[in-house]
A and B are shown apart, each in its own frame.
Chain A
Amino acid sequence: MYEGAVQDLIDELGRLPGIGPKSAQRIAFHVLQASATDVKRLAAVLVDVKDKVRFCKVCGNVSSAELCRICADPRRDPAQICVVEEPKDVVAVERTREFRGRYHVLGGAISPIDGVGPDDLRIRELLARLADGTVTEVILATDPNLEGEATATYLARLVKPMGVHVTRPASGLPVGGDLEYADEVTLGRAFEGRRQIDV
């Protein structure tokens, strides 16, 4: 244990995803040794991101306005929705330049063992977007791992009866991996070769 402010910083850092106690300690001491200007800039962007960035009210992606850049762009195809787990997955799919539709960010994947069920994700919002018949294809681009696969299964079962084409990027994506780590070429190919999900 360290004194006051140092320990507070270590505790706060330790609450971040993927940061264990040792990393938290290392980052805290890095901050202590950095120049005051650098630290102030870091603090300012942290406050800024919370003040200025919000979530798109349609797709749930990070946005600086009520509608994100993609939802506000009339050139994007309103008939296709690509469903992803996190905003970082939108970035990964955008990099492929294969997809010209719009997105829907779930905010995670169904994970019963972690107590995350369908009601904890933006699934109701997705169904609401499908209600008026504009959307003809939903691409389920959840992570190619067990939770992502089970989430896709759950969604396909809900969406298919609404008369919408439901597809999943083709295999070739490494099973067990994170979508964000797939390179553009592999992910692009997986999008091109997406196939219909049978429920």
Chain B
Amino acid sequence: MGLYRDEAVVLRTCKLGEADRIVTLLTRRHGRVRAVAKGVRRTRSRFGARLEPATHVDVQLAEGRSLDVVTQVESLGPFGARLAGDYPRHTVASAMLEAAERLTAEEREPALRLFLLLVGGLKALTEGEHDPRLVLDAFLLRALSLAGYAMSLDACARCGAPGPHRAFAIAAGGLACPQCRPAGAASPSPAAVFLLRDLLTGNWPGADSTEVGTRREASGLVAAYLQWHLERGLRSLPLVERSPAPPARVLDPA
């Protein structure tokens, strides 16, 4: 049985049998990997806390026949534990993890850029400099781009005619010119389109200075766009809370 070591973010855990868990990891070099963590639900488990969702870890895995087995794990960043005391941010982290899982179609298909984007997103969320929902929308827009679904926010998504255009056609992939504009296309406010552009390109000063109404509008467009490109929407997205966050309470990582 081969051993290998990688860096990873824990996307999801589920219970297996009496005391084990199956953990889904997004690794730096091996893409999405599912592995068994033995005995982690028991009292004296060495790595229970390090394999909680949204933890950035350095992990050693043993190749198994169906699932690999976690043999060692060190925490590099307990983002999940830092966010658990802040409910709105916790819901945002959940949506980021679910999106990362859903946007990696195949297990073990390398997804280095998505991995880096996720670590960066969780870090930004923990540092708390920006509105959590902006961090989420930026993450979703960029993760969709990496998956080949870049939102077209300048040229017409259908014919490429240079913008700016007013109509937003989800199925076409973004803004559409008057000729290509399908019936029933939305006409978002220019401010919302600017915000989407800022989020996609990482212009944080621009994004941070927007009004709440503009943010809501942009979030709605991102959610609809995501829903269109993923067969079923994200289960966590309707549960994401927007309310201002209470001060974070820290959970002691063991």
Closest Cβ of chain A to B16, distance in Å, is: 6
A-B CB pair tally, cutoff 8 Å = 102
Task: Report A-chain residues with C-beta under 8 Å of the C-beta of B246.
Answer: 157, 199
Task: Report A-chain residues with C-beta under 8 Å of the C-beta of B129.
Answer: none
A159 CB-CB contact with B under 8 Å: no
Q: Which of A178, A182, A197 contacts B249 (CB under 8 A)?
A: A197
B34 CB-CB contact with A under 8 Å: no
The number of chain B residues with a CB under 8 A from chain A is 44
Beta-carbon contact of A176 and B15 below 8 Å: no
- What does DSSP make chain A's interface, helix, strand, loop or mixed? loop
Beta-carbon contact of A176 and B49 below 8 Å: yes
Give A187's nearest chain B residue, CB to CB: B43
Beta-carbon contact of A112 and B43 below 8 Å: no
The B-contacting residues of A in range 9-37, CB under 8 angstroms, are 17-18, 20, 23
The number of chain A residues with a CB under 8 A from chain B is 31
Task: Report A-chain residues with C-beta under 8 Å of the C-beta of B16.
Answer: 18, 20
Task: Report A-chain residues with C-beta under 8 Å of the C-beta of B236.
Answer: 112-113, 115
The A-contacting residues of B in range 64-99, CB under 8 angstroms, are 80-81, 84-87, 90-91, 94-95, 97-98
Quick one: CB contact mask for A150-175 with B, threshold 8 Å, 1 for yes? 10011001000000000000010011
Closest Cβ of chain B to A157, distance in Å, is: 6
The A-contacting residues of B in range 200-240, CB under 8 angstroms, are 235-236, 238-240
Most chain B Cβ neighbours within 10 Å, of A110, A112, A114, A183:
A112
Quick one: CB contact mask for A172-193 with B, threshold 8 Å, 1 for yes? 0011111001110010000000
Closest Cβ of chain B to A185, distance in Å, is: 11
Closest Cβ of chain A to B223, distance in Å, is: 14
Task: Report B-chain residues with C-beta under 8 Å of the C-beta of A174.
Answer: 42-45, 48-49, 254
Give B98's nearest chain A residue, CB to CB: A113
Task: Report B-chain residues with C-beta under 8 Å of the C-beta of A199.
Answer: 246, 249
Give A180's nearest chain B residue, CB to CB: B41
Beta-carbon contact of B53 and A113 below 8 Å: yes
Give A173's nearest chain B residue, CB to CB: B43
CA distance A150 to B82 in the complex (A): 10
Closest Cβ of chain B to A119, distance in Å, is: 9
Beta-carbon contact of B48 and A176 below 8 Å: yes
A198 CB-CB contact with B under 8 Å: yes
A123 CB-CB contact with B under 8 Å: no
Task: Report B-chain residues with C-beta under 8 Å of the C-beta of A186.
Answer: 43
Beta-carbon contact of A153 and B87 below 8 Å: yes
> With A18-B17, A113-B94, A171-B252 in contact, is A157–B87 under 8 Å at CB?
yes
Quick one: CB contact mask for B1-35 with A, threshold 8 Å, 1 for yes? 00000000000100111110000000000000000
Most chain B Cβ neighbours within 10 Å, of A146, A174, A199:
A146
Task: Report B-chain residues with C-beta under 8 Å of the C-beta of A176.
Answer: 40-41, 45, 47-52, 254
Task: Report B-chain residues with C-beta under 8 Å of the C-beta of A183.
Answer: 43
> With A112-B235, A117-B239, A146-B52 in contact, is A154–B87 under 8 Å at CB?
yes
Task: Report A-chain residues with C-beta under 8 Å of the C-beta of B80.
Answer: 146
The B-contacting residues of A in range 129-145, CB under 8 angstroms, are 145
Chain B residues near A (Cβ < 8 Å) = 12, 15-19, 40-45, 47-54, 80-81, 84-87, 90-91, 94-95, 97-98, 235-236, 238-240, 246-247, 249, 251-254
- Would you give 18 A-B contacts (Cβ < 8 Å), ordered by A? A18-B17, A112-B98, A112-B240, A113-B12, A113-B53, A114-B235, A115-B235, A117-B238, A150-B87, A174-B42, A174-B45, A175-B48, A175-B52, A176-B47, A176-B50, A176-B52, A177-B42, A199-B246
In order of increasing CB-CB distance, the 9 nearest A-B pairs are A176-B48, A115-B235, A112-B236, A175-B49, A112-B94, A149-B84, A112-B239, A176-B49, A146-B52
